[in-house]
Amino acid sequence: MTTPGTSTGPRVAIVTGGSGGIGREVSQRLAADGMSVLVHYAGNPVTADEVVKAISDDGGTASSFGADVADEQQVGELFDVVEERYGGVDVVVHTAGIMLLSPLTEFDLDELDRMHRINIRGTFVVNQQAARRVRPGGAILNFSSSVVKLAFEGYTGYAATKGAVDAMTLILARELRGRDITVNAVAPGPTATALFLDGKDQATIDHLTNLAPLQRLGVPADIAEAVSFLAGPARWVNGQVVYVNGGVI
């Protein structure tokens, strides 16, 4: 696959949080689409290297790099590395984030600050570098959440961070006018990942499963399919929050 803009070689993607859950599936899908992939990790190089090996075993091109997404110097180094290894960057998929749940009245404010630092500041920092470096014909994809509009109890702090992601996405798309770079957010619904299933009893899982008309939980491959579309052929989808949730309203 070649870049729709100025690059003539394989497209190059950075996937933050690319070593686990949805990020892992996204990394492997973009590699299968023909992109060279930089798999970012926050603290565990072992799982990132597993993703790199899986991609390489399937004939793809990938490598890994660790960085704190909220640290502008480290994120700058991340982009430096991908440019040094692959010659540039065309796609940035920012899946990295954390989810801490509690009713608003009981939420620990230090935990709230930690989540805001990763989910809001991290998105801002990664988008800042992406906006400066992504080549024409490229795409920037953030990760929001369907819970912003579903308004589940206990999700106040998390949903607030993802509402901020929505705002950044919509405004950045307009600020990049004339650059031929799309900016969108993917908003998954209930998706069967270890992060999502952790701490939930079977009754809760069954309830969430039945929210969608398709009567199943999403799987990471469902989300990766949407990312592949927005990162590749979907050049006329821009400045949108795309709900990938099986029809949950």
Active site residues: 158
CA angle 24, 136, 20 (to 5 degrees): 5
Q: At a CB cut-off of 8 Å and minimum separation 6, what does 160 contact?
A: 116
CA 247 to chain centre: 20
Q: How many CB atoms lie within 10 A of CB 109?
A: 8
Give the type of residue at 75: V
CA distances from 113 to 100, 105, 147, 161, 240 (A): 11, 15, 19, 10, 27
DSSP 68: -
Longest CA–CA separation in the chain, Å? 54
CA distances from 67 to 18, 75, 81, 133, 218 (A): 12, 6, 11, 17, 29
Q: Is 236 helix (H, G, I), strand (E, B) or coil?
A: coil
Rg of the chain on CA atoms, in Å: 17
> Which tokens is 225 given?
């399919």
